[in-house]
Structure 1
Amino acid sequence: MFKLGDSSYQGYFFDLIVISLVSVEKTPPPPTMKTDFKFSNLLGTVYCQGNLLFSPDGTHLFSPVGNRVTVFNLVDNKSYTLPFAHRKNISRIGLTPQGNILLSVDEDGHAILTNIPRRIVLYHFSFKSKVTALSFAPSGRHFAVGLGRKIEVWHVPSTPDTNEEGDLEFAPFVRHHTHTQHFDDVRHIEWSHDSRFFLSASKDLTARIWSLNAEEGFTPTVLSGHKQGVVAAWFSKDQETIYTVSKDGAVFDWQYVAKPGQDEDEIMDEEDMQWRIVDKHYFMQNGATLRCAAFHPESNLLVAGFSNGIFGLYEMPDFNQIHTLNISQNEIDFVTINKSGEWLAFGASKLGQLLVWEWQSESYILKQQGHFDAMNALVYSPDGQRIVTTADDGKIKVWDIESGFCIVTFTEHTSGITACEFAKKGNVLFTASLDGSIRAWDLIRYRNFRTFTAPERLSFSCMAVDPSGEVVAAGSIDSFDIHIWSVQTGQLLDRLTGHEGPVSSLAFAPNGGLLVSGSWDKTARIWSIFNRTQTSEPLQLMSDVLDIAFRPDSLQIAISTLDGQLTFWSVSEATQVSGVDGRRDVSGGRRITDRRTAANVSGTKSFNTIRYSMDGSCVLAGGNSKYICLYSATTMVLLKKFTVSVNLALSGTQEFLNSKLVTEAGPAALLDDQGEASDLEDRIDRSLPGAKRGDPGARRKNPEVRVTGVAFSPSGTSFCACSTEGLLIYSLDSTVQFDPFDLNMEITPASTLGVLQNEKDYLKALVMAFRLNEAGLVQRVFQAIPYKDIGLVVENFPTVYVARLLRYVAAQTEQSPHVEFCMLWIKALVDKHGAWLMANRGKVDVELRIVSRAVAKMRDEIRRLADDNVYTVEYLIGQANSKAAQAGKGPKTIEWNANGDLEVKALPSTQKEVTMDDILEEESEGEWIGIE
């Protein structure tokens, strides 16, 4: 309720609400640091090897990423990674026609059966051989798998005939039958629409037709005639034609016809009818070989991907070329078409590219590429919505946490990027590179607006930015000096000398007062660069400094050294406060080349990167091992160890090596078997002489597992780590939120009104109304809640429905005349759920913008109404006084009578004329008048 005479009300209450909304960003983290972080997503890598799959509705794309599977939602523009992990890289994935069960198989033939809606692992199984092809029958009752030259057909545990809902039955895999007639690896398996027959394409130059069960008059048929290995084979929509494509770019049309030149009258027996080639087509790609192909029977579209990065789209059976497009610098490894035939998905493993192309509009639906080389550093944006990663490939990628996609890539650097850091205010990013430059990036316009260089050519290995964003400092392994530039002018301000070894780490205090540098000369120095006397305070350590981290309150620093020690120092006294020996904690995993056990290898017993948590109570540390350690900064206790990867394809994930993999020539994984490949292009060595990094032809077969960067999110609810497999995100709230009102409750409009009117349980009634999602019922319950109970209802309101309630209240604010009532709801939501809103700002960003817009709109309307009232009253007073003057009477005034109406009264001759300001001043001590 507002008082009309009080002019101060016009913006006060609304400014209070706006301040409350803004204060969501400054909500302090919880006082106790939680440690139950769990893996929630994998960014930085979108495709490694294997096949791609569209969901049955064509809106989701399943992509194998190392030993995990990432799902891309192409409609909502989001992605998530399934929580399971294989022990080797995934080679094949298959999805049931219902889209609820995923079967993924790794390089060793170990399979995991996963429930997609619930994201839980249901069954583990081993095919005991390498899987080369996998396909589910359209009926969902069987699937066929190619194991080398052998084909096995298995029953699917989820069968529509036994369970109409398609839920999984906990039964082991049952093999239906086996076929062993092929002479080389099976590359592709395709089922007929009625699930009675299936085709197999092999490298033995043939395709074969099989039946699921014994069919009368049917015998397995061989389709031979190709000159190179058959890549794929498909049935047409009417199953009267079979299309086969081979590696040399030949497309054959097969039909069940009689011998050429034989009349229909001469056909006396079924034996005269055979599958014969009726037409031949060729792609003609100038020496490029066919790598993959896909066919869409409903629209007769054939898409083929070639080794030169070109794909072609053709219409069958006439083989009309629709268009060709070059989408990659390397060969396309896999292509698939969604159910509607509109979207084509391509995967290129050498560059880690994943593309979804809409061929009718000729536009990209999805275009993603991970880092080609190892990631070196990462940093969270100040709002916690983005992560920036840098790598040895000279690229800077900005990842959106909510969607999981890379939104922009910068390629101006010409060499590996070693460090990146945000300015504490604004969207400005700084990066340091081995090309001798420090670059500043504007993340609003996405451009490089400033470049800093040294007088001589240096390779910068570390960098730090002053919190104010005015000064940037960088250190190099080529020089022992620290260079300092002005961000505004780009000029070199100073060179700090004192270290006797390469500078390995730099860190500014969060309050901007000091700069701390670490060096290989076994010292760390504290610099006061803004004072006239730039003296440094050396801190003597026992080994080379690897990384330095400031506590958020700027009172303490943590230093990691090469001997595996974490030491904590007081900044004001320059003395060591405490320390922890992390050699035993970080040590883990034996590399293939190690001649000693994992416990005795020295290269993994140190932390290369350390970071404080947002409240300063914990320290996160990672190094050249598979472990990330979380320490308490007060008790020096190891709180938790996180395992980065269990992928045996990476070197350093095993504690003990298998002796059978050691040959006379050394470990089997290090032997070059490229010359033994069966395909000619695989035997050709295209690597550059002496190139070990950055060369597409020389990627190591077993890269080492390591962590090159860690960072806590600004909200403190998650952290991310740069590892060999990609950008791993660990979160506290990765589990699906539990709604207690889902349990055994008969929810109907009648029961909701009964709870509201009889039990007076407003919280329960409001949640029941949201569950039913009926607009009239929600509005009735919402308006029936007393304003005194709003705070209590909102405080106990389930978090699941906070976003929906926020959106509903914002809509009511714009429509309802009950202004103060809606304002109380908004204020209660911000006060009671401010921490949750900040932690999940990416999810409720739309709702917060709607609330802000509604509050601003209401403020403008109230201000305009108040101004109109002021003008109206002034006009009435002026009219009354003018009429009194004309009549020769005394002045008049307007006052409120007992009924609350305005009444014109004459003033005594001794009293002066009253103005509008006097009325407002007098009424400021009166009663409140409601706007309604």
Structure 2
Amino acid sequence: MNYRFQNLLGAPYRGGNIVFSDTTLISSIGNRISVTEVSESKSSALPFYSPTNISRLACSPDSSFIISIDSLNHCVFANLRLRVPLHHLNFKEAVHAVKFSPDGVLIAFGVGKLVQVWKSPGFKKEFSAFQLVKTFAGFDGAVRALDWSPDSQWLLAGSKDLTARLFCLKKLKRLKPFVGHRDVITGVFFHKNGDQVNGVYTVSKDGALFSWDIEFEVENNGVEFSKAKDEELSDPPSPGTPEIKGSSDVQKTKIVDRLSDEEGYLGKRNRAGEFQEIETQESKIGQQEKQNSFDDNIRCPLHKGTWVLRKKYFFMQPHAKLTACDYHAGLDIMVVGFSSGVFELYQMPDITLIHSFSISREKITTASFNKHGNWLALGCARLGQLLVWEWRSETYVFKQQGHYFDVNCMAYSPDSQILATGADDKKIKLWNVSSGFCFVTLSENGKENGHTNAVTALHFTPNNRCLLSASLDGTVRAWDLIRYRNFRTFTTPYDRQFVSLTSDPSGEVICAGSLDSFEIFVWRMKDSRLLDTLSGHEGPVHGLTFSPINAVLASSSWDKTVRLWDVFDGKGAVETFPHTHDVLTVVYRPDGKQLACSTLDGQIHFWDPVEGLLMYTIEGRRDIAGGRLMSDRRSAEKSTSGKCFTSLCYSVDGSYILAGGNSKYICMYDVADQVLLRRFQTSSNRSLDGVLDFLNSKRMTDAGPLDLIDDVDSDVEDGIDQQIKGKLGYDLPGAIGNHGRPVIRTKCLRIAPTGRSWAAATTEGVLIYSMDDSFLFDPNDLDIDVTPEAVETALSEGQHLRALVLGLRLNDDKIIKRCIFAVKPPDVSTVAASVPTRYLNRLMETLADLLDNAPHLEFVLVWCQELCKSHGHTIQQNYRNLLPSLRSLQKSMTRLHQDLAETCSSNEYLLRYLCANGTMK
């Protein structure tokens, strides 16, 4: 029951920008944030999420905080190290750019046509944490790019109106905009030399790079001044300042008069009403004193010079737009990415081409340098591709790509270390569950080496050396998990489309159900020979499973029946279980004494396969109901049509069952009592259809909901979130007429053999729920004497058994581990033999965790050995209750055995080599 969200697999990158935090790569996955440790090859998703898909990210210079902004302009300010959200902020207009200042005190947002500077909340707990410091106006288009000066006093902004502007935080200065581009400004950067600004780079979408330098003139007395005095006028009124609340001419006159008094000079107005300065001796002295005090507080006197366009350079990429760029000031290099998939690296300021590569034929959505400038991260939203390239050695440090379409099927390996996923993109991906990385992609490499159509079913053989896959291309393929190649292909005399797959407990017989001929085909694994064809169903066979205790095959079909087959004796169907609606899936309980199937009316039926009797039925339509589609005419409460379970999965001990389908919910039921234990909501992303229970009537028009009307002139980046339908179009109800909004659903559910985690293939990706990383306090037999102080007292007195029992009763992970390591090696056998039976499960879970993370390998293995010796009979009697922890121990030991085997083997040959060299000498 204590399952919590742990990770999100299947789509490393969905759009928006990516940022670096030291060696950590931060990107968005839908409405969640993915954190990838590039050097350690680990990827995880932060537990919090935004209301809709995240479009912009920014990380503080000290890597303590992160800001995310979604498509609804909702901002989340979070602690990156603790992975918790701290503050929220809503903007009224779209935010296209956000950046922290170099000192981390301020945050600049490009909000529509304005540039807003907010004070960073930090670690303080305040009611109104965000404080607006400055608001700059002057643009006629949306602000697209931002950059800070090294002293955090100047802000450079680029806009959609083809101009870039320079703003000062200390005093309102109106400098002339940088003009000359003929397309939207994509990037603006300060050209820095330490803490001194030498110039400005502006990059536009048409592939133009302009280099701007500042010139200073010196009078006879040696004082620098600017030729253009009109550049030092006050900025025009901007939103957020008290001076612009009114817009009449009288109010404007008062504002100018008050400004003139503050500046310390007298003035008058001409016939046009414009203010003219009267140069008196007193006004000159007062203005000079104030200017000197202002200049003393600014390290970079960018307001005292004249900006001149020094160089124009055009990236010659025919029929391609510049879509991404970034600049590293320390190394003075710039990267530009194009819509053709080409990216180029240039050495500045000479604009010398260093590298030019192509990663795909789709446009590069984002590009970013890390802090040291040796790594370059590139993202392609349409392909779901994210990679990190080390440009000096020209090698890939990190490369991940998710499935192009939704995941159709998945399977856990017997040791729970690998999760295999298959999708409509004809690819099979193998994921390391602990690290969250995809380490192998099994795809078409020639017609003989991969599937040529959608992958619909996956199954691991019991020996953990082979993966079976079924596809709509009419083949079932066997993949070698050591060499990662297709070594066996199972076909039929006529072309068939397979949608279900299973094997017998020995892995020697393979069975697959067809979509078009309604038959079940049986092959022999050894020589790929077709042994039998089972006929009898009158609809597509969408469910196949072998009994774990005998050679009985159960199949479910849309013909409203579940059939049992004796495969080895060739007797055909030996039992038929009729239903009133189409049967969508079928699954055996791990002990083989119960069979569960789901039907189209939202019910789960439990059968006794031996007696052939219906044991009980769970009515799940109301439990799974929820979420209203944009095209629904009825409310979410009354709209229960189409709500059904398409995937079922028993727990390891068979006490509960997970059910998911055409809904945003995954239900967990108690099998014995037929009651709902818990509902998991797979997603709260409003960018998906079917998430909200109530729709906003203000967005309803005569032409239908505004969200379903295509906007041709929209600036939304092209990504794979527009993909709503693959080659399994029949399995995507609600997609027709949806105009690009994916519908939330669960296509497949699988529980790990250890029972510690389970995975769900949803529209957003593969969700992993686990109970291993537990931070909850769940004590056992807690009374007034069971306290951490009592544990400390027992340890100081040398009572290790009492301290361990108290730690197990407290159920605190840190205390239990400390008590284990406090026991001396000669006393391990005595303490292990005296541990009460009721705490064996919790103790074995802790030992499994120590095998994965603790460096004291031999000591932990001694604990495991003594525990099995002392409590072997008890473990054998209660194996069903202890099975999850036993499988966790087996998983950890298997992984350690594989790692140590390679290490020992390499050391053995090395010693032989050294000994041979010593003998020769």
State the SS of the aligned residue for 1:455: coil
The 5 A counterparts of 1:695-714 are 701-714=740-753
Closer, same or farther in 2 for the Cα pair 1:276/1:836, shift >3 Å? farther
1:46 aligned residue (12, 15, 38): 12
Q: CA deviation at 1:837?
A: 7.5
Work out whether residues 191 and 197 of structure 1, in 8 Å CA contact, stay in contact via their aligned partners in 2: yes
Match of 1:900 in 2: none
**In structure 2, what is the Cα distance between the partners aligned to 1:573 and 1:682?**
56
Shift of 1:829: 8.8
Alpha-carbon distance, 1:688 to partner: 15
- Count of residue pairs brought into register by the alignment: 781
Amino acid at match of 2:406: A
SS in 2 for 1:117: coil
Q: Is residue 2:102 matched to residue 1:138?
A: yes
CA distance in 2, matches of 1:420, 1:148: 48
The more displaced of 277-286 and 139-148 is: 277-286
> Helix, strand or coil: the match of 1:600?
coil
Aligned ranges for residues 306-321 of structure 1 at < 5 Å? 306-321=338-353
Aligned to 1:184: 141
Q: CA deviation at 1:781?
A: 8.3
> Does 1:724 pair with 2:680?
no
Give me the whole-angstrom Cα distance separating, in 2, the residues matched to 1:469 and 1:650: 40
CA 489–107 in structure 1, closer or farther in 2 if over 3 Å, else same = same
In structure 2, the residue matched to 1:393 is 425
The answer for the alignment partner of 2:387 in structure 1 is 355
**2:697 matched residue in structure 1:** 659
Q: 1:202 — aligned with what?
A: 159
Cα distance in 1 between the residues matched to 2:396 and 2:134: 42
User: Per the alignment, in what secondary structure is the counterpart of residue 237 of structure 1?
Assistant: strand
Matched-pair contact (CA < 8 Å) for 2:801–2:834: no
Give the letter for the 1:257 counterpart.
E
**Aligned counterpart for 1:375 among listed residues 386, 407, 431:** 407
Q: C-alpha distance in 2, partners of 1:608/1:398?
A: 23
| CA distance in 1 between partners of 2:729 and 2:160 (Å) | 33
Tell me the residue number matched to 1:108.
Answer: 72
1:484 aligns to 2:522 (yes or no): yes
What per-residue deviation string (whole Å, max 9, x for no partner) do you get for residues 567-592 of structure 1?
00001011111111111111111111
Separation in structure 2 between the aligned mates of residue 521 and residue 337 of structure 1, nearest angstrom: 57
Letter matched to residue 709 of structure 1:
C
Q: By how many angstroms is 1:381 displaced?
A: 0.7
How far the C-alpha of 1:207 sits from its partner, in A, is 1.0
For structure 1, the 5+ residue unaligned runs are 1-34, 159-165, 747-751, 773-777, 814-821, 858-932
Tell me the amino acid that sits aligned with residue 178 of structure 2: L
State the distance in 1 between where 2:547 and 2:148 align. 64
Distance 2:889 2:141 in 1: 53
Task: Tell me which residue corresponds to 1:803.
Answer: 850
Which of 43, 66, 83 aligns to 1:119? It is: 83
Question: How far apart, in 2, do the equivalents of 1:128 and 1:715 lie?
Answer: 48
What is the rounded CA distance, in whole Å, between the counterparts of 2:609 and 2:751 in structure 1? 22
Residue 371 of structure 1 deviates from its aligned partner by: 0.5
Is 1:304 the counterpart of 2:304 in the alignment? no
- Letter of the 1:590 partner, please give it: R
Query: Aligned pair in 2 of structure 1 residues 800, 149: CA closer, same or farther (>3 Å)?
Result: farther
Higher RCO by CA contacts (8 Å cutoff, separation 6 or greater): 1
Task: Tell me by how many angstroms 1:480 deviates.
Answer: 2.2
Contact 1:559 1:567 in 2 (8 A): yes
Aligned counterparts of 1:301 and 1:529: Cα–Cα separation in 2:
67
Q: 1:270 aligns with which of 223, 226, 249?
A: 226
Partner of 1:244: 202
Q: Alignment partner for residue 279 of structure 1, among 287, 296, 311?
A: 311
Q: Equivalent residue for 2:888?
A: 839
In the superposition, relative to structure 1, how do residues 788 and 373 fare at CA in structure 2: closer, same or farther (>3 Å)? Answer: closer
- Mapped pair 1:36 → 2:74: no
Structure 2 counterparts to residues 466-865 of structure 1, below 5 A: 466-674=504-712, 676-677=713-714, 701-736=740-775, 782=824, 788-789=830-831, 799=846, 803=850, 809-810=856-857, 827-828=866-867, 838-839=887-888
Q: Separation in 1 of the partners of 2:725 and 2:577?
A: 44
Deviations 1:398-420 (A, max 9, x none): 11111101111111111111111
What residue is the counterpart of 1:162 in the other structure?
A: none
Q: Does 1:228 align with 2:183?
A: yes
Aligned AA (1:445): R
Q: Does 1:255 align with 2:293?
A: no
User: Identity rate of aligned residues, in percent?
Assistant: 39
Aligned residue for 1:415, secondary structure, equals coil
> Secondary structure of 2:572's partner?
coil
Q: Return the letter of the residue paired with 2:368.
A: T
5+ residue gaps, structure 2: 229-304, 444-449, 731-736, 780-785, 808-812, 872-881, 907-921
Calculate the aligned-residue CA RMSD, in Å: 3.9
Letter paired with 1:382: P
CA distance in 1, matches of 2:68, 2:626: 28
CA distance in 2, matches of 1:68, 1:224: 38
Q: Displacement, 1:827?
A: 3.0
Q: Which residue of 1 aligns with 2:261?
A: none
Q: Report the TM-score when normalising by structure 1.
A: 0.77
Contact 2:555 2:564 (C-alpha < 8 Å) held by counterparts: yes
Taking the aligned partners of 1:264 and 1:325, their CA distance within structure 2 comes to 53
Q: Residues 842 and 481 from structure 1, CA distance in 2 versus in 1: closer, same or farther, beyond 3 angstroms?
A: closer
Distance 1:433 1:295 in 2: 46
In 2, the alpha carbon distance for the partners of 1:831 and 1:665 equals: 74
Instruction: Say if 2:652 and 2:883, in contact at 8 Å, map to a contact too.
Output: no
Q: Is the 8 A contact 1:402 1:843 kept in 2?
A: no
Residue of structure 2 equivalent to 1:863 = none
* Counterpart-to-counterpart distance in 2, 1:476 and 1:205: 58
Q: How has the CA–CA distance of structure 1 residues 636 and 407 changed in structure 2, closer, same or farther, with 3 Å as cutoff?
A: same
Deviation at 1:222? 1.2
- C-alpha change, 1:666 and 1:539, in structure 2 (3 Å) is same
Residue 342 of structure 1 contacts residue 359 of structure 1 at CA under 8 Å; is this kept in 2? Answer: yes
CA distance in 1, matches of 2:406, 2:725: 20
Q: Answer with 1 or 2: which has the greater Rg.
A: 1
